[in-house]
Structure 1
Amino acid sequence: MLRSFLRTEAGSTSVLLVATVLALLWANSPWGDTYEAFWHTPVGLSFGDAQLSLDLRHWVNDGLMTLFFFLIGLEVSYEVRLGQLRDRRLIAVPAVAAFGGMLVPAAVYLLFNAGGPGAGGWGVPIATDTAFVLGVLAVVGARCPEPLRAFLLTLAIVDDVLAIMIIAIFYTAELSVPALIIAALVLAAIVTLRWLKIWRAPAYIVLGFALWLATLESGVHPTLVGIALGMLVFVYAPTDHKLLLAGEAVQGFTVAPSAAAAREAARRVQRAVSVNERLQLRLHPWSSYVIVPVFALANAGVRLDGETLSAAVTSPIAIGVALGLLVGKFAGIALGTWLPLRLKWGILPGNLVWGQVLGGAAVSGIGFTVALFIVDLAFDDPALHDQAKIGILAGSLLSAALGWVIFRLAWNRGGVCAPPDAEPSQDLPKTLAVPVGRGDHVRGPASAKVTIVEYADFECPYCGRLQPILEEVLRQNPDVRMVFRHFPLRTLHPRAAPAAIVAEAAADQGRFWEMHDILYSNQRFLTDADLERYAAQLGVEPWADVPRHVARIAVDEESGQASGVRGTPTLFINGVRYEGSHDLDSITRAVEDLRRAT
């Protein structure tokens, strides 16, 4: 899910950038007057005597953007239940960093605007634009390891939730109590349907639209409906029963292909995945490639003539926004990262170093979508609108440039679970720092001419794909032995460390390799209950001596770090780092070359 999200958001950055440029060109063209005229065109719906009329910009900002925030709600719901936000240790640092990244920019802005006409715009520089940030990180490439992307995505999720709360509390106009009561009743009806496990899409669509209308009339910004509904969408991990039914249906189709069998297989496979994930898959492209770019086209247009620019240069609003994004975001996230680490509230993901974190803090100053959104809520004066937008553009460009410079100066990758060709070659140790010894887990003859040492993670999918290949290498080559060493990537794979502990418990009974094979055959099912079931199958007590097993795993990790291991799987063949492809032919060829050499 995380990889899919990253690819979608980063890939859509170019579309968002084109929409922004088009808005600026349109607003500054000889036909610039038509920009505002077009977006103020009234469009309405009528139901008998009842009418709902908004201009095009408000249909985009209040309507389409509700779907954008709905997706944020889906993402939050997924991450809280199944993703990175389950583990307090993993979210403590990015969550506090997100708080810092909002408080400090607001304070910087208010240094220039407290008590002035622009004081209400303090919320403009507080939010990070996830799409633009991930787009910049994609350009940075290998200098930004995946754990940093995961760290910044978690930060962005917390940032979005906080921004929504700020909009609800501080940027709500006069409230209509009757409309609020109606909205609360409709929301209660939706919660009741969910509690009764009634999953009829038309019912939710009708009630969702009614909730949006009631919220629009209440004075509360209707985009709040989006995140609330998104967080209510049911999410679950596939159960063994559903996976079994899906597998049987697919098998039935392969045995007797037919339209009916294909439909049943598709239905069973679809039901194995939660509604939350299916909606994300369907709506992310629409949000990334249509809704957000249209929002940018409707809101990013600002005249950049001499008069406007000269006013912005001396405007406390433009200066406050720009410095809030550039300086405030950088300082707030850096301080918010340092503090929980200092107090031992959490850990940094992977093997991240401060240079990478500071680069991520800098690019987080790219504020666009939510910043423009809050501009529309904070200011009524068109002149103040333009000044704030110029501040957003200037601060975002400078933040991107600062992040690029920091990444150029602080190139040091972190731990990565990735295919072998995902990263370019690095200046890392080429030899195994700790020779194979008595404490290692060895499969194969002690007199083997060739020894393959694998640093691996039981939850890493690339490690899982490599296992049958290594088994085939051992089968074809009786004079080759295999050594397994633990290197759990705790941030990317939170179940890897418990799985390693259970494998060590099995090793106490001389059954390490049996547990090794069970774990790799069941990578999707590594909860504590699953691990206890696997241990029971082998007659192993999984949690009998956890401190000793943790210390044993740490020995492997330290040897891997000393050997320059930065991700999984990493192989050493006869003590030398293997840098070829992880396929049967390539590994077999490397083994044969070493056999001939010895």
Structure 2
Amino acid sequence: MQLTRLFNEFFNSEKASGIILIFVTILSVTIANSSLQTPYLNFWHTNIGSHDIVHWINDGLMTIFFLLIGLELEREIYHGELSNFKTASLPIIAALGGILIPAGIYLLLNYGTATQSGAGIPMATDIAFAIGILSLLGRRVHPSLKVFLTALAVIDDLGAIIIIAIFYAQAISWLNLLIALAIFVALLILNRLKVLNLVPYILGGILMWWFMLHSGVHATISGVLLAFAIPFKKNDEKSPSYMLQHFLHKPVSFLILPLFAIANTGIAIPGNWVEGLMQLSSIGIIAGLVIGKPLGISLFSFAAVKAGLCQLPSQVSWTNIIGAGVLAGIGFTMSIFITMLAFNDAAIVNSAKIAILIGSVIAGITGLLWLRLSLKKQNIPTEE
């Protein structure tokens, strides 16, 4: 099975990014619990203009991350695993299970409480971390499994984006929202007129972001909308979508995501942090990521295959699907992102972040060991 150049580039960049994210997260947590704790945490909340540094990263730079996610999703829809129903159905159905079951587990524990708004936290998969862990297994991982996990994670993130747009919007400013959507429509018209120059799309995207920022809908949604307005041409490396995606891989993987991780994992671990983990919100997050993700992905995949809606990818076994489901429990980036939107109480946010880190570490180690064992037993020859 030959992987496209763009997919290989994406996979390799995410692999390196996952390793960097692990390093900067450990560094950030260490500094936040050292003698430098106060100046370190205060730095991230230094105001620049009307917002602090963390806000600019989460609402500004992360829009570029969502733009890349949108471009990757566009590629998958037009040319990749999502380009026809037969190949797209399995990761789509698997992702649906990986969204509904973790949310269900969380709500089972938190429904009717002040923390029920955190149901979106265990839904998402961190692409960089999941692929970074998968890459540690080297050549024994068949390309079909790489593509399945990547498509699953991209669809997962799309689900998270939709959830953010619907459930985590603030009071809506309809004028700003309508202006942002009008700009999006104008960009779609440019696309239909076959305008291939990226400049008007980027300028329009910046304007759309500004109005979206002031609309009450999270500003990062503008990144996804911009992605689908940019022209895409199959097998054309000079198409605007291809060029922008190629350009953004390294800045997102090696600058934006590490900055997000450093800024949002400066967690001052209190002496009573174990008590924080006993809260229903923390238990729901860990259970959703560690149990809900593999359970939902595996059950929905199995049901879909048995119903004849889709089939397993070549050289991928059910034990591999379970392993991919466990790795999908690495929530990290998107889970922390949703945490910042779901909760206002600093203590709950802190406990939720610790729960996300613990759940993601458990999922990462368990998924790595599971796949290492199952792939060794399969002894499947793989391709570069």
Same fold (TM > 0.5): yes
Q: Equivalent of 1:326, from 269, 287, 290?
A: 290
SS at match of 2:204: helix
Structure 2: how far apart are the matches of 1:407 and 1:341?
Answer: 21
SS at match of 2:218: coil
Structure 1: how far apart are the matches of 2:359 and 2:140?
Answer: 23
Letter in 2 for 1:367: G
Partner of 2:116: 119
Root-mean-square deviation over aligned CA pairs: 1.5
Structure 2: how far apart are the matches of 1:370 and 1:56?
Answer: 18
Partner of 1:304: 269
The answer to whether residue 313 in structure 2 is matched with residue 349 in structure 1 is: yes
Structure 2: how far apart are the matches of 1:380 and 1:183?
Answer: 27
Q: Percent identity?
A: 38
Report the CA distance between 1:12 and its aligned residue: 1.4
Instruction: Report Cα offsets for 1:378-411 as digits up to 9, x if no partner.
Output: 0000000011101101111111122123223312
Partner of 1:235: 232
Partner of 1:48: none
Structure 2: how far apart are the matches of 1:160 and 1:191?
Answer: 23
Structure 1: how far apart are the matches of 2:309 and 2:171?
Answer: 40
Partner of 2:29: 24
Residues 196 and 240 in structure 2, CA contact (< 8 A), matched pair in contact too: no
Matches within 5 A, 1:182-581: 182-238=179-235, 273-307=238-272, 309-411=273-375, 412-413=378-379, 416=382, 418=383, 422=384
Structure 2: how far apart are the matches of 1:298 and 1:207?
Answer: 28
Residues 140 and 381 in structure 2, CA contact (< 8 A), matched pair in contact too: no
Partner of 2:82: 85
Letter in 2 for 1:395: G
Report the CA distance between 1:190 and its aligned residue: 1.4
Q: Any gaps of 5 or more consecutive residues in structure 1?
A: 45-52, 240-271, 423-598
Partner of 1:15: 20
The worse-fitting range, judged by mean Cα deviation, of 198-207 and 371-380 is: 198-207
Letter in 2 for 1:298: A
* Structure of higher CA gyration radius: 1
Residues 201 and 226 in structure 2, CA contact (< 8 A), matched pair in contact too: no
Structure 2: how far apart are the matches of 1:59 and 1:120?
Answer: 23
Structure 2: how far apart are the matches of 1:197 and 1:148?
Answer: 36
Matches within 5 A, 1:132-143: 132-143=129-140
Structure 1: how far apart are the matches of 2:304 and 2:131?
Answer: 24
Instruction: Report Cα offsets for 1:296-315 as digits up to 9, x if no partner.
Output: 011112122322x2222321
Instruction: Report Cα offsets for 1:401-440 as digits up to 9, x if no partner.
Output: 2212322331225574x2xxx5xxxxxxxxxxxxxxxxxx
Partner of 1:98: 95
SS at match of 2:48: strand
Q: Equivalent of 2:39, from 34, 43, 59?
A: 34
Letter in 2 for 1:289: F
Residues 237 and 273 in structure 1, CA contact (< 8 A), matched pair in contact too: no
Report the CA distance between 1:238 and its aligned residue: 4.5
Q: Equivalent of 1:4, from 6, 9, 21?
A: 9
Q: 1:18 to 1:95 in 2, by over 3 A?
A: same
Residues 172 and 217 in structure 2, CA contact (< 8 A), matched pair in contact too: yes
Structure 1: how far apart are the matches of 2:199 and 2:88?
Answer: 36
The worse-fitting range, judged by mean Cα deviation, of 177-186 and 190-199 is: 190-199
Residues 8 and 288 in structure 1, CA contact (< 8 A), matched pair in contact too: yes
The answer to whether residue 53 in structure 2 is matched with residue 56 in structure 1 is: yes
Instruction: Report Cα offsets for 1:44-78 as digits up to 9, x if no partner.
Output: 2xxxxxxxx21111100000000000001111111
Q: 1:19 to 1:385 in 2, by over 3 A?
A: same
Residues 312 and 319 in structure 1, CA contact (< 8 A), matched pair in contact too: no
Structure 2: how far apart are the matches of 1:37 and 1:292?
Answer: 20
Letter in 1 for 2:99: M
Instruction: Report Cα offsets for 1:308-359 as digits up to 9, x if no partner.
Output: x222232111111011100000101111210110101111111211111111
Structure 2: how far apart are the matches of 1:292 and 1:313?
Answer: 26
SS at match of 2:136: helix
Structure 1: how far apart are the matches of 2:232 and 2:338?
Answer: 30
Residues 121 and 378 in structure 1, CA contact (< 8 A), matched pair in contact too: yes
Instruction: Report Cα offsets for 1:195-240 as digits up to 9, x if no partner.
Output: 222233332222211111100110000100001111221111357x
Q: Any gaps of 5 or more consecutive residues in structure 2?
A: 1-5
Q: 1:211 to 1:135 in 2, by over 3 A?
A: same
Structure in which a larger fraction of residues adopt helix: 2
Residues 320 and 391 in structure 1, CA contact (< 8 A), matched pair in contact too: no
Instruction: Report Cα offsets for 1:466-506 as digits up to 9, x if no partner.
Output: xxxxxxxxxxxxxxxxxxxxxxxxxxxxxxxxxxxxxxxxx
SS at match of 2:314: coil
Report the CA distance between 1:140 and its aligned residue: 2.0
Letter in 1 for 2:154: I
Structure 2: how far apart are the matches of 1:276 and 1:414?
Answer: 35
Residues 359 and 403 in structure 1, CA contact (< 8 A), matched pair in contact too: yes
Instruction: Report Cα offsets for 1:246-281 as digits up to 9, x if no partner.
Output: xxxxxxxxxxxxxxxxxxxxxxxxxx5322111111
Report the CA distance between 1:143 and its aligned residue: 4.0
Between the two proteins, the alignment pairs up a number of residues equal to 377
Residues 144 and 356 in structure 1, CA contact (< 8 A), matched pair in contact too: no
Report the CA distance between 1:34 and its aligned residue: 2.3
Report the CA distance between 1:180 and its aligned residue: 1.3
Structure in which a larger fraction of residues adopt strand: 1
